[in-house]
Amino acid sequence: MNTEYIHWSPDRGYRREDLRKAAGILRSGGLVAFPTETVYGLGGDGLQKDAAKKIYEAKGRPSDNPLILHISCQSELDTIVKNIPEQAEPLMNEFWPGPMTLIFEKSGSVPYETTGGLDTVAVRMPAHPGARELIAEAGVPVAAPSANTSGRPSPTRAEHVREDLDGKIDMIIQGGSVGIGIESTIIDLTGTMPLILRPGFITREMIARVAGSAQMDPALSGRDHSIRPKAPGMKYRHYAPRAAMTVFEGDIIDVVAEINGRAAAYPADRVGILAAIETENCYRHGHVVAAGSREKGTVANGLYAALRQFDQLGVEVIFSESFSGEEQSEAIMNRLLKAAGHRVEFLPK
């Protein structure tokens, strides 16, 4: 398949005919990758079974892992959900449009192919103006997982989408780097209090401030493998670079010393070090990649690009700093630990 490329930019938006074409592809059951504020999404018509099947195929994704439906305004909810629980209202008012996904009971018009066989459906209204315009023009809810090959880090730039999906989908919208860099916070509202199924930019504290309280899905700690995560996708080893990665937890000075010691045992071109801008100069040996600045809070934004860079460098082992002190630490550490297959070493104080 020949993949077509079009552009969106914050100041110029789309060319009118490009937008019409992209929306037409979605309506006729084809696939379009597009930027959102979290990561790039791989979009298809959420109400067409065959579009969902194509999405799973292009990503190489297991079909029991449900997709998120993206809407451009709140009234579009009515056709895809059975009811809107009272708990949802304040959260929607506060965080939509934005990086929050809510789980609802699905209506009859959403096919099981989209929800991986579940009776619930995940919905998000993105804040990205290019994403909103595309969804509105298509006039259908757009099913969109992250636009990566299943198992690889999510794409935060159009080049990442090209690496994984060129030749496999109809169109890629090139819209520069995304703003946030990690996927939306997923919240289940079917219980008595909001349950966070996947941490994201919107933190538990932010949700509790609006909803009164919020809990994390206990399966997220990754320590107890007998508990199944409520979001089916969270059980897969995800976001992973090809090399084996270990995360070091402790005082940053000790972490730097430990990583320097470990790295020295490998040829310099085989070892990768994942650091922050503030510490990248502290390492003497190996490929050092900074995910972002701890002080400026940009680690989430650069994390996936950094993991992809290690693949490109072809390193065989990665040593990573921990980023537990950051604002979005719950989300950052969730993605980092998954990428590391939960290999963490705690350094003594």
Nearest residue relative to Mg ion (C-beta): 146
Report the residue number, 88 or 122, with the smaller CB distance to Mg ion.
Answer: 122
Q: What phi and psi values does residue 2 have, to the nearest 5 degrees?
A: -90, 115
Work out how close the CB of 293 gets to ligand TXA at its nearest, in angstroms, rounded to a whole number. 22
Q: Which does 234 bind (CB under 5 to 8 A by kind): ligand TXA, Mg ion, none?
A: ligand TXA
The burial class, CB within 10 Å (0-12 / 13-18 / 19+), for 112 is middle
CB of 264 to ligand TXA, least distance (A): 37
Nearer to ligand TXA, 184 or 328 (CB): 184
Residues of this chain that interact with ligand TXA (CB under 6 A) are 36, 38-39, 41, 65-68, 99, 101, 103, 115, 118, 120-122, 124, 144-146, 183-184, 186, 197-198, 230-234
- Report in angstroms how near the CB of residue 147 gets to Mg ion at its nearest: 9
Cβ distance to ligand TXA smaller for residue 175 or 286: 175
What residue ranges bind Mg ion (CB under 5 A)? 146
103 touches, from Mg ion, ligand TXA, none (C-beta below 5 to 8 Å by class): ligand TXA
**309 versus 334: smaller Cβ distance to ligand TXA:** 334
Place of tokens 């690496």: 163
Dihedral, CA of residue 169, residue 51, residue 130 and residue 121, to nearest 10: -140
In whole angstroms, the minimum distance from the beta carbon of 335 to Mg ion comes to: 10
Query: Smallest distance from the beta carbon of 131 to ligand TXA, in angstroms?
Result: 8
Could you give phi then psi for residue 161, rounded to 5 degrees?
-65, -45
156 binds, among Mg ion, ligand TXA, none (CB under 5 to 8 A by kind): none
Please choose which of Mg ion, ligand TXA, none residue 230 contacts, taking the beta carbon within 5 to 8 angstroms, the exact cut-off set by kind.
ligand TXA
| CB nearer to Mg ion: pick between 120 and 146 | 146
Alpha carbon 285 to chain centroid, angstroms? 31
Structure tokens at 203: 């933190």
Instruction: Work out how close the CB of 298 gets to ligand TXA at its nearest, in angstroms, rounded to a whole number.
Output: 18
Q: Which residue is listed with tokens 């919107």?
A: 202
Q: What angle do CA 328, 330, 336 make, to 5 degrees?
A: 100
Return the one option of ligand TXA, Mg ion, none that residue 194 interacts with (CB less than 5 to 8 A, by type): none
- Give CA angle at 39 (153, 127), nearest 5°: 165
What residue 340 binds from Mg ion, ligand TXA, none (CB within 5 to 8 A, per partner kind)?
none
